[in-house]
Amino acid sequence: MEPVADIELVTRFLFYGREDGTYFATNGNNQIDKHTASIKRLIRGGKGREVVDLIKQISIEGRAPKQGPLLYALALCARCDDKLTKIAAYQSLIEVCRLPTHLFQFIKYAEEFSGETSGWGRAQRKAVSHWYNQPSFQKNPMKLLRLGSKYRRRHTFSHQDVIRLGHVKPDGPHSAFAIRYLAKGKENVDDIDTSDGMISNAYLFVLALEKAKNCSPNDTSLLCQLIKDHELSHQHLPTTSLTSAEVWRSLIYTMPITALIRHLGKLSKLHLLENGSMEEAHVIGRLENVQNLRFARIHPFTLLTAWNSYRRGHSGPYKRLIWTVNHKIADVLETAFYKSFASVEPIKKRILIAVDGSEAMMQPANGMNEVSARSTAVVMAFIFAKMADITEVVLVKDQLYPINLDQSDTLEDASQKFSINGTCDYCDPCKPINWARENKMKFDAIVFFTASLAFNNNVNPSASMRQYREELGIPRARLVNVGMASNEFTVTDQTDIDMLNVVGLDSTILTIISDFFKR
């Protein structure tokens, strides 16, 4: 088999943080610094700009599950010795670093690559200055002010640090106002002419931020008015104020839908979602708005996780937060989960989903509080059955049991269909591949959900998959092994670009696997 092309290894890195075709959902074993050899080879071979273009493309399209590998690769390109690659990397800074958090993380990585030097050469200072003076901030200072005040410090850097180290100079009056405030605070903008309407609005926002920052825990009425008038988020408020029910009552009406879903437990804990309340009606209305959920790119798995978490009435195994469940909210989350499939881009592939039926699957799934690997695998099979054009689902024990999942099935229906008596001690990962081969069933991809990817030495899923491809004439059929209850893994053939290992679980898994099918 031919070696994997470097550009494909880079693609793996940008998606998974590793070159070997393994994705760790928990970040525990990524060892990101040990997986950049392909990037360095391409730079040395005069193809650094291709790497930068790929970073930019994946970032703009929002395909990567996490921003870290993209920023690490961009920083590596920016700090390399190849002039054209360096220029391309810094020119891409605005498009890849869309939030201050991204900018700070990029700078952190760039300093790591710089070794004993500061890493603040002329090219980086110019790029950072351009970031703070980008056209959208020039047009409206409120955009930079909102982002900057929401993300004041991350990855050991603050705006004050970065503006000072980058020798950032404003290019116009609008960006000047925001930059001066972020660099030195309100006193630095008190003398600015506010006759310009946008600057006047920005100054009022700054006054609101300062009032909020200096509010005592007893000033809840003032805080609530500031939240209402200026759409402040919880990141703008003093930590001491975030125990107030009235403050959170005001935040309900201004927070983005993703934040609202994330804080449903806390809102119920504070008795803000009582039956018949205005807040209950508002939250239900937002969760029922399918178009808003689609616009916010809320994935079905995110809604499912929120539904399962909320209806339990507590957060995590240690029950640090306990609340009384509002069953109307729980029901609307369930409904939103089922409706959200209409907004998901379908997977136009023939897929075989195989679920391990061994006793080991009763262990908790990594990354999923109090949920077994078996239950999580059923959820995954259910979601793929909804998303893919053609899906065959099997439960793998001493033999294979086909599971007929209909489009009309609920998750409870799916769980019932998987409830076949008995378990086995060990599940052979080759069994679903061999079953498909022996029955001449053509699939574009085979996905195996199991407890651990630490397979026995006499088991070789890679060889079984190659035999399947050859006999059925599907040279690019893909194999995905998902180990849900263990961090141990045996890597499948690293030279095979059509094989992927996933270790652990998080909300990005479905995106990772779906994109792997499409590439």
Q: Do 145 and 284 have their domain in common?
A: no
- Domain of residue 307: give its range: 256-340
pLDDT averaged over every residue in the chain? 91
H or E element in which residue 22 lies? strand 22-24
* 508 and 381 both lie in a single domain: yes
Given 184, 204, 224, which residue is the final one in a domain?
204
Q: Which residue has 């088991």 as its token pair?
A: 459
Q: Which two tokens stand for residue 257?
A: 């839908």
Q: Give CA separation, 343 vs 116, 300, 385, 387, in Å.
A: 49, 9, 15, 10
Q: Report yes or no on 290 lying in a domain.
A: yes
Burial of residue 105 (CB within 10 Å: 0-12, 13-18, 19+) is buried
Residues 323 and 401 in one domain: no
44-53, 157-166, 358-367, 445-454 — which is least confidently predicted?
358-367
Q: Do 397 and 298 share a structural domain?
A: no
448 and 329 inside one domain: no
86 is a domain residue: yes
* H-state helical runs in 231-352: 245-252, 257-262, 264-269, 278-288, 290-295, 300-312, 327-339
pLDDT at 158: 97
Of 340, 364, 395, which residue sits at a domain end?
Answer: 340
Mean pLDDT over 43-55 rounds to: 98
Contact 328, 275 (CB under 8 A): yes
Domain identity same for 369 and 324: no
pLDDT higher than 80, residue 354: yes
Residue 430 domain flag: yes
Residues 6+ apart with CB under 8 A from 494: 4, 20, 21
For residues 173 and 127, membership in a common domain is answered with yes
Structural domain includes residue 237? no
pLDDT at 29 over 60: no
pLDDT number for residue 346? 87
- Residue 210 belongs to a domain: no
Q: Last residue of a domain, which of 340, 362, 390?
A: 340
- H/E segment holding residue 210: helix 197-213
Same structural domain, 306 and 378: no
pLDDT > 80? residue 393: yes
Q: How far apart are CA 479 and CA 473, in angstroms?
A: 15
Number of domains making up the chain: 3
Residue, of 188 and 226, whose pLDDT is higher: 226
pLDDT in tens, 66-112: 999 999 999 999 999 999 999 999 999 999 999 999 999 999 999 99
SS3 91: helix
In this predicted model, what pLDDT tens digit does every residue of 206-263 receive, in sequence order?
Answer: 999 999 999 988 899 999 999 999 999 999 999 999 999 999 999 999 999 999 999 9
- Model confidence over 57-74: pLDDT tens digits? 999 998 998 999 999 999
Residue 203: its pLDDT value, please?
A: 96
User: How is 115-134 classified by DSSP, letter by letter?
Assistant: TTS-S--HHHHHHHHHHHT-
Per-residue pLDDT band for 506 (boundaries 50, 70, 90) equals confident
Q: How many CA atoms lie within 13 A of 338 on its CB side?
A: 11
> Which pLDDT value is given to residue 118?
62
Q: Are residues 320 and 369 in the same domain?
A: no
Distances (CA, A) of 336 to 40, 340, 343, 439: 45, 6, 11, 38
Triad 461, 467, 469: Cα angle to 5°: 100
CATH number for 468: 3.40.50.410
CA–CA separation, 314 vs 327, rounded Å?
A: 14
User: What is the pLDDT confidence band of residue 414, given thresholds at 50, 70 and 90?
Assistant: very high
pLDDT at 275: 96
Please give the residue that has the higher pLDDT: either 158 or 31: 158
- Please state the separation of Cα 72 from the chain's center in Å: 16
* Residue 386 resides in a domain: yes
Do residues 166 and 91 both lie within one domain?
yes
- Tokens for 65, please give them: 């599950």
Q: Which of 123, 60, 42, 41 is nearest to 86 (CA)?
A: 123
**Mean pLDDT in residue range 420-436:** 85
- The number of residues in the chain equals 519
Same domain, 312 and 434: no
Distance CA 349, CA 391 (A): 8
pLDDT, average across residues 331-339: 95
Q: Of 271, 274, 270, 369, whose CA–CA distance to 319 is shortest?
A: 369
The answer as to whether 242 is a domain residue is no
Under DSSP, is residue 293 helix (H, G, I), strand (E, B) or coil? helix
Is 41 in the same domain as 83? yes
pLDDT of residue 369: 62
pLDDT value at residue 28: 56
